[in-house]
Amino acid sequence: MPEKLHAYEKIKRHVLAQIHAGHWRHGDAIPAEESLAREFGVSRMTVHRALRELGSQQVVERIRGSGTYVAQQKYQSTLVDIRNIADEIAARGHRHRSELHLLERTRADETLARAFQTVAGEPLYHSVVLHFENDLPIQVEDRYVNPRVAPDYLTQDFSRQTPNAYLMKEAPLQGVDFEIEATTPPRAFGEMLCMAPQEPSLVLRRRTHSMGQVASVAAMWHPAARYRFTGKI
């Protein structure tokens, strides 16, 4: 079952959706609190909380005595394109397929809480997907997802689409942090990738932002002998 959203979170999602769709642009006034309260059947206090949080996230700008306006949206770029691995493989003229190894509800430990900028114990979704290129295992995708930006994540068929493809549609990208390192993978991931013991891997750790909050935290593990990262500036 999808995580139930509070009323103020539904209002935040509505405002963000209008901005991301281009219906409301930088400098546009958004409907007054009274209007949104009537539309959603909630109290003005609930609307006020939603707009206050969006203001603290610099999504909107609140001007006393005037109203609430769409703020200038700030986007980040990286040396590594946020691309769907299935599209990367297809671009090479090869065949992609994936195996879902884990899809579950979990709760943030201290490390994940810091990554998601929340508190320990908050609910998260967790998936582990093994990606193949021409039947050769090439990537283990170990991903944690914020239920507030992708409440239907657990109902998706990740043999038909990748988690990345789904999230790019459900949670439009606002920014990304990443790091790449060479290290030995966890034993289970090494076995999934058919790697020899102590064989090095390349791991891309990536945190994406959407709707003014952290959307997902993922580690993508690759056999170093079978994979390389490329980018351009």
Q: Is residue 170 part of a domain?
A: yes
Are residues 205 and 103 both part of a single domain?
yes
Are residues 14 and 95 both part of a single domain?
no
In tens digits, the chain (233 residues) has pLDDT values of 445 668 888 898 888 878 767 788 888 899 999 999 999 999 999 999 999 988 887 788 888 888 899 886 544 333 345 667 888 888 878 889 999 999 999 999 999 999 999 999 999 999 999 999 888 899 999 999 999 999 999 999 998 899 999 998 888 788 888 888 899 999 999 999 998 888 889 999 999 998 888 999 999 999 887 766 655 44
Domain of residue 29: give its range. Answer: 7-70
Are residues 183 and 213 both part of a single domain?
yes
Counting the structural domains of the chain, the total is: 2
Closest Cα partner for 199 from 175, 183, 212? 183
Closest Cα partner for 126 from 109, 147, 104, 110? 104
Are residues 92 and 45 both part of a single domain?
no
Q: Is residue 1 part of a domain?
A: no
pLDDT of residue 78: 37
Encode the chain in three state secondary structure. CCCCCCHHHHHHHHHHHHHHCCCCCCCCECCCHHHHHHHHCCCHHHHHHHHHHHHHCCCEEEECCCEEEECCCCCCCCCCCCCCHHHHHHHCCCCEEEEEEEEEEEECCHHHHHHCCCCCCCEEEEEEEEEEECCEEEEEEEEEECCCCCCCHHHCCCCCCCHHHHHHHHCCCCEEEEEEEEECCCHHHHHHCCCCCCCCEEEEEEEEEECCEEEEEEEEEEEHHHCCCCCCC
Are residues 110 and 197 both part of a single domain?
yes
Q: Is residue 231 part of a domain?
A: no
Q: What is the pLDDT of residues 14-69, one digit of tens each?
A: 888 787 677 888 888 999 999 999 999 999 999 999 999 888 877 888 888 888 99
- State how far the Cα of 26 lies from the Cα of 7, in Å rounded to an integer: 25
Are residues 92 and 52 both part of a single domain?
no
Backbone angles phi, psi at 232, to 5 degrees: -150, 155
- State how far the Cα of 70 lies from the Cα of 19, in Å rounded to an integer: 8
Are residues 120 and 218 both part of a single domain?
yes
- State how far the Cα of 106 lies from the Cα of 112, in Å rounded to an integer: 11
Are residues 59 and 19 both part of a single domain?
yes
Whichever domain contains 34, its CATH number is 1.10.10.10
Q: Is residue 116 part of a domain?
A: yes
Are residues 58 and 132 both part of a single domain?
no
Provide, rounded to the nearest whole percent, the portion of the chain with pLDDT above 70.
88
Are residues 114 and 189 both part of a single domain?
yes
Q: Is residue 76 part of a domain?
A: no
Buried b (16+ CB within 10 A) or exposed e, 146-179: bbbbbbebbebebeeebbbbbbbebbbebebebe
Q: Say which residue the tokens 């959603």 belong to.
A: 40
